[in-house]
Each structure stands twice: as structure tokens, then as C-alpha cells.
Amino acid sequence: MNKKFLILLISFFIISCQSDKKEEGKPTELKDLKSIIPIEKIWSKKAFSDFPIGEINIVFNQENIFLFSEEGDVSALNLLGKEVWTNNFDEQISSGLGYGFKSLFFATENGKIVSLDGESWNKLLESNVNAEVLSSPSTNGVIVAVQTSNGKITALDFNDGSFKWEYQSTVSPLSLRGTSKPVFDKGFIFVGFGNGNLVKIESRSGVVQWEVPVTVSQGVSEIERMIDIDADPVIAQNGLAYAVTYQGDLSAIDIEQGRTLWRNPTSSTKNIIHTKNTTFIIDSSDTVKSYDGVKGNILWVLEDLKLRQLTSPKKYKNYLISGDYEGYLHLIDLNTGYIEGRTRPSRQAVKEVFVHKDIFFSLDDSGRISALKFKWL
């Protein structure tokens, strides 16, 4: 059986299983808020006519928001929502955009990595990694790194697109439909794989420094033993790396030694937020949790949004922002876990939330993006 078809079939089965679990309990009804932060919508416009098979991501520089379509359109809006430019590259884009060092990057469905010049925004380089890419490319200005769906990370030269090195992880029999994005930090790359391992690699040479299991697989069937890392790892200034798995654990790992300091049982495919010494996640039941990032103990738990199909959270000011299936955005106080604000820019389910400067953005299922901010800003 075709591997891609098998992954799609299993992904559908898993989503069906998750949906069945959610039907056991209805999404939590929203409670009235005693006080609410005043939020205003700045602008809203249709930005996507379709979505890619992989990560949905938009990126920013100081002046612009960069968007894309599956059909190969890449465009820039200014912060007021006005189109600055648009180019069509006649490619089927498979994942979100990457941006760094005045260059844009995207991956295509046939395994090409394309970079755009940061002045003309025309195609600059094109390389082929010969595999499906579902997460956006990352760069440190020396190499461009991508993880492919076959459990491989490939490094390409930033300037000429030539092959530098690759690392192949052990591939699990079954995995979720998605991969985490490589994260650069001080000359190293940290990447989570579908087998549940977090790997530290020297970015110039490709030499592995350590490989650590974030969790230990359990269960009788292959589906029960799935422990993918789909969320991007977080490399914190306290010397720890944080990673979370599906059906496993949230773990804190010493960056230098690769030693696991603590594990806390949880299941999530949503990205982690870390501030100072506090770590935040939204688990598979849409329970929001705050952890002491050093000791691993839970500081607070918010269950008021359970089963509301929350997006990955973003940090905005002193709040976590996450969107839900009814189009609401929720602002959760980082210190207390209380919901301090709520707004509904759309009646469509929120697909992703993004933050740039003093503005936060909601992308809904119809492809409409809305820009919002606190009224006093």
C-alpha cells in the first residue's frame, strides 16, 4: 500500500477516534465574564482561498505580513491590511512560510525548497529534498533546515541551496499527519521526531550531540503506542529544552547534557509557550495548564474551554491567546489562568492565531484573517 495513502488513512482513523471521544462530552459552554478587556478589530479580509496539506503559517517582517496559497501565490500585506505585492510561482505549496535574514522560504508538494530574495521577492534558489515537507523551513542565515514526513531532517546552504547534511531518525510504524519545525539555538538545531525523540544536532556539521526520548510509548496496539512530537520544541534561556508528545509527556531536558529533568504526563500536538520559568500548554482535551518550568509542578489548570477545539496558543502581552471552533478568541491571564478577555471576529472556527508587535491576528476556516488589538493601544 502507498505509504502516503496509509498515513492519510491512519490520520483519518485517529481523527475519527478523537472525534468519538469528544462526542462523549459536549464542548464546554462559555461563561459570562465579570470584566472584559476592550478589544477592537482593525481590519479583516479574505487571505486564503485554500489551505495547504501541511502547516498553516504566516510570517512577518517589520512592515509586512506574508501570506501564501496552495496554488503557489505568495503575497505581502502591510500592517493595515493593504496588499503590497503578490507573485505566483506555479508551485503547489505544501506548508507554511519560513522567514529569516531577509529571505522567505516555502516547501512544495513535490519536495522542493524555494527561497525568495528579500528585496525583489522573486525566486532566488530552489533545492530538492525528495520527500514531503509538512512544516515550514527554518534558517540561521548559514543553513536552511527542513523536516520531511519520512522522519529526516535536511540542511541546505543558505546562499546557494546546496546539500550540506541530513539526519534520518528511526521511523515509527504509524505517525500523525504532521511534523515539528527545526529550532535553531546557539549553533545547534533541536528537532522533535515522530518516534517521540528530541535530537540536538550541531548545525554546521550535522553531528548529533544527543538524542533523548521525551516519553516512553505504552499500549498494546500501534495506535496506542503513537508518541509523535508535532509541536515545535522550545529552547529556553534557563538552559532547558521543552517538548511535548501526543499520548505521552511534557518534558524538560537539560540542553547541554541531554538529561531529562522532569516529565509530566500529558498529550498534545499544540505548540508550547514558555515565559521566564513558566511553561504553558493546551492538551488534547483543550485543558490549559501552567507548569513551573524548573520543577515541573502544575501551577494552575483551566478547564473552562474543554473540548472547544482550541488552536495552539500565542503569547500577547501578559496573556495566552487561543481561538476555538465557534470563532471566539480567548485571552487567558498568564499568572492566574483566568479568562480576562473574549472577542469573536468571525462566526467560522479559528484555524490559527498569530501575534506581531501590538496586533494579534485570527485566521478562520473560511480563509479570512482579522487584525485586532486592545483599544487603549
Q: Give the domain ranges of the chain.
A: 3-374
pLDDT for position 303: 98
- What is the spatial distance between Cα 355 and Cα 350, in angstroms, rounded to a whole number? 14
- Closest residue by Cα to residue 261 from 281, 283, 279, 246: 279
The H-assigned helical ranges of the chain are 3-23
Residue 13 has pLDDT above 70, yes or no: no
Q: Confidence class of residue 177 from pLDDT cuts 50, 70 and 90?
A: low
Angstrom distance (rounded) from CA 215 to CA 250: 8
What pLDDT sits at residue 2? Answer: 43
What whole-number percentage of the chain has pLDDT above 70?
A: 91
Spatial neighbors of 283 by CB under 8 A, at least 6 apart, are: 266, 267, 268, 289
Please check the confidence at residue 331 and state whether its pLDDT lies above 80.
yes
Amino acid letter at 61?
Answer: N
What would the pLDDT profile of 47-69 be if each residue is shown by its tens digit? 888 887 788 888 999 999 999 98
Of 21-25, 93-97, 279-283, which one has max mean pLDDT?
279-283
Average pLDDT over residues 154-173: 92
> Strand, helix or coil at 183?
strand
This prediction has a pTM of: 0.91
Class of domain 3-374: mainly beta
pLDDT at 376 (0 to 100) = 80
CA distance 351 to 51: 10
Confidence check: pLDDT of 235 > 70? yes
Question: pLDDT tier at 218 (50, 70, 90 boundaries)?
Answer: confident
